């Protein structure tokens, strides 16, 4: 799989530092980002940014997204309320790979309080460069 040209990214205050680092990482790989916020470490509400990122994918402005909060649970739960969004909470590289291969996930959700920035960047790379296997997994995804 080739890396996508555009990725939407969002975070709450707990994920802000990670969001900024991942944006730089993506820029080095010639990937444009649609940053839906937040834009500081000031306390904020994660659903605002998860909904905004999911809408960018729903509207066809990006095929993939990255969401970051403290545990990644909140952004994953919120994004998954949207039709055709499959947001996967990932805390290890193998999980990021399987989320794409088996679940055709289109948003990776990263827990800033539980992974390093280097680990987060590795997972993002794996997520964005891994293809969906289809086959036996396709019918399961269709049941979602």
Active site residues: 69, 102
Residues facing 67 on adjacent strands: 10, 109
- In sequence order, what are the residues at sequence separation of 6 or more whose Cβ sits closer than 8 angstroms to the Cβ of residue 77? none
The DSSP secondary structure of 32-45, one letter per residue, reads: EEEE----SSS---
């Amino acid at each position: 799989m080739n890396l996508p040209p555009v990725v939407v990214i969002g975070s709450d205050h707990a994920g802000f530092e990670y969001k900024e680092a991942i944006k730089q990482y993506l820029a080095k790989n010639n990937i444009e980002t649609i940053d839906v916020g937040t834009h500081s470490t000031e306390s904020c509400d994660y659903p605002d940014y998860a909904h905004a990122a999911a809408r960018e994918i729903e509207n066809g402005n990006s095929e993939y997204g990255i969401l970051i909060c403290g545990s990644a649970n909140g952004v994953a739960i919120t994004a998954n309320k949207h039709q055709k969004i499959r947001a996967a909470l990932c805390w290890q590289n193998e999980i990021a790979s399987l989320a794409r291969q088996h679940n055709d996930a289109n948003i990776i959700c990263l827990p800033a309080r539980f992974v390093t920035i280097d680990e987060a960047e590795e997972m993002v790379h794996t997520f964005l460069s891994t293809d969906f296997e289809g086959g036996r997994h396709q019918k399961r995804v269709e049941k979602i």
